[in-house]
Amino acid sequence: MNKTVLITGTSRGIGFETENFLSSKGYKTFGCGRSKVKKENYLSVDLSTKEGCEKLYNSAKKYLGHIDILINNAGTYAYSNIENADYETIDNMTKLNFYAPYYLSSLVIPDMKRQKWGRIVNIGSISGVVGEGGATLYSATKSMFLGFSKALALEVAKFGITVNTINPGWVETELSKNGIEESDLTYQDNIDVIPQKRFIMPIEIANLAYFLIQDEAKGLTGQSINLCAGLSCG
């Protein structure tokens, strides 16, 4: 039987590419975003609410039958010095980048435990590993995955469930384009400090996610893997 995947944030970018890649490999997928997309395996929903997360979980379960794999991808970025952060921005980003993946994981784990098999892949960020000045809120929300992946990996290890985080550096998507426009740096300034002198392509994230959900990757758990064209190396 084909394995099933619930992946968040599939209306564009990394989530879109990853969902397409996994369905080309035979996985049955269900995705979401706030945008309206006419696909039977897609729900238009705001994940920064409890009700949104529950609606997504219920719709995915109805469509997929059961959930083998959760990919926590949806996220938002902001470039803003800490003194400019208003409470609402802190609240909104925390709800999407932190509460949603945590809560969705809590919803899928009971099924995975019953099945004695499961995979959770989180899309973190290199900014959660090394810190990104000017994006403290984003860095803080993404660093949560480092502890979360390790702690949850311990909790579910004996049930055949693995939990890992991919930390991308700059990836060619709308998020990076808008983020750079908001910042004091140009696209070229960013390229200059990346050892490989390029942004990561979404398909590279999709390939790593694909590896992490294989049976053969069962020994790899609780890890955070930096996919950053060398940005985090020094």
Ligand X SMILES: NC(=O)c1ccc[n+]([C@@H]2O[C@H](COP(=O)([O-])OP(=O)(O)OC[C@H]3O[C@@H](n4cnc5c(N)ncnc54)[C@H](OP(=O)(O)O)[C@@H]3O)[C@@H](O)[C@H]2O)c1
Catalytic sites, residue numbers: 138
Residues 6+ apart with CB under 8 A from 8: 15, 31, 32, 33, 47, 56, 71, 72, 73, 74, 100, 101, 104
Please state, as a whole number, how many other Cβ atoms lie within 10 Å of the Cβ of residue 187. Answer: 13
x/- letters, 51..90, toward ligand X (CB under 6 A): ----------------------xxxxx-------------
**Stretch of 7-15, 108-116, 185-193, 217-225 lying at the interface with ligand X (CB under 6 A):** 7-15
Of residues 90-109, those binding ligand X (CB under 6 A): 96
Stretch of 46-54, 107-115, 149-157, 185-193 contacting ligand X, by CB under 6 A: 46-54
Query: Which of these ranges, 41-49, 83-91, 157-165, 212-220, lies near ligand X under the rule CB under 6 A?
Result: 41-49
Q: Which residues, numbered 135-194, are part of the site for ligand X (CB under 6 A)?
A: 168, 170-171, 173-176
62 burial (CB, 10 Å; 0-12 / 13-18 / 19+) is exposed
Min dist CB 26 to ligand X, Å, is 23
- Is residue 46 at the binding interface for ligand X, with CB under 6 A as the rule? yes
> Would you tell me how many other CB atoms lie within 10 Å of the CB of residue 116?
10
Closest CA to 72 of 20, 128, 32: 32
Alpha helices in the chain (DSSP H): 13-24, 50-64, 87-94, 100-115, 127-130, 136-156, 174-182, 187-193, 202-212
Q: Does 112 bind ligand X (CB under 6 A)?
A: no
- Give me 169's structure tokens: 């550096």
Name the residue nearer to ligand X (CB basis): 11 or 224.
Answer: 11
Residue 121 interacts with ligand X (CB under 6 A): yes or no: no
CA neighbor of 71 nearest in space, from 7, 16, 9, 117:
7
- For residues 134 and 160, which CB has a smaller minimum distance to ligand X in the complex? 134
Near ligand X by CB under 6 A: residue from 4, 7, 11, 204: 11
User: Rule CB under 6 A: is residue 9 a binding residue for ligand X?
Assistant: yes
The smaller minimum CB distance to ligand X, of residues 4 and 125, is found at 125
Backbone angles phi, psi at 95, to 5 degrees: -65, -40
Q: Is residue 123 part of the contact set for ligand X (CB under 6 A)?
A: yes
Residue 232 C-alpha from the chain's centroid:
19
Token pair for 209: 């996610």
Chain residues that interact with ligand X, rule: CB under 6 A: 9-15, 32-35, 46-48, 73-77, 96, 123, 125, 168, 170-171, 173-176
